[in-house]
Amino acid sequence: MASIFAHGLIAYAFGNTFSEEVRTYKFWLLGIICSILPDADVLGFKFGIAYEDFWGHRGFTHSLVFAILLGTVVTFVFYNKKFFYRTGLLLIFYFTVCTASHGVLDAMTSGGLGIAFFSPFDDTRYFFSWRPIQVSPIGVNKFFSLWGIKVLLSELIWIGIPSGIYILALYYAKKSKTLFKKDR
């Protein structure tokens, strides 16, 4: 898996796509939680759930169906007055993408059993053919090690730099739109 830092950064970067009126503290917090929540499945190890099981690590909680369900539920619970409007659809989209991005990043890592993207319809685990991100260790103690440093450096290159470029590109695109409006 990628680290929680990388997952949260993706939610933050993508969140910058939306207007300032939508980007509240609640919006950011929920987006980051959605991007990290699929890894709650690691708790299954404590209850004897095997890695490769439906509820195992990188199983159903990493699927596209789970992402859509979570995006919809989060929007309904926290933005119920906006749920049936355009803003509600945009929020469902944002929270769904934040959640789905988790599986996408994990499918780009160098370890694990793959991602059950199509669960519950197909529990086959998939990786992408291009896997440049070092897999993150499970557990805080293992993360603060040489392995953890390698993971962070890998994520800086493959997630941090592209996210920074995306955020800067959005900033300048929005700024240029503002400049052009003033010229009219």
| pLDDT > 80? residue 8 | yes
Q: Give the Cα separation of 118 and 127 in Å (integer).
A: 13
Rounded average pLDDT over 38-62:
94
| pLDDT > 60? residue 166 | yes
Mean per-residue pLDDT of the chain: 92
| pLDDT > 50? residue 172 | yes
Question: Looking at residue 145, what is its pLDDT?
Answer: 74
| pLDDT > 50? residue 184 | no
> Can you name the residues that pair with 115 across neighbouring β-strands?
126
User: pTM higher than 0.85, yes or no?
Assistant: yes
Q: Give the Cα separation of 38 and 21 in Å (integer).
A: 28
| pLDDT > 90? residue 138 | no
Q: Give the Cα separation of 152 and 6 in Å (integer).
A: 8
Contact (CB, 8 A) for 34 and 98: yes
Q: Dihedral through CA 3, CA 165, CA 98, CA 175, nearest 10?
A: 150
Question: Looking at residue 178, what is its pLDDT?
Answer: 66
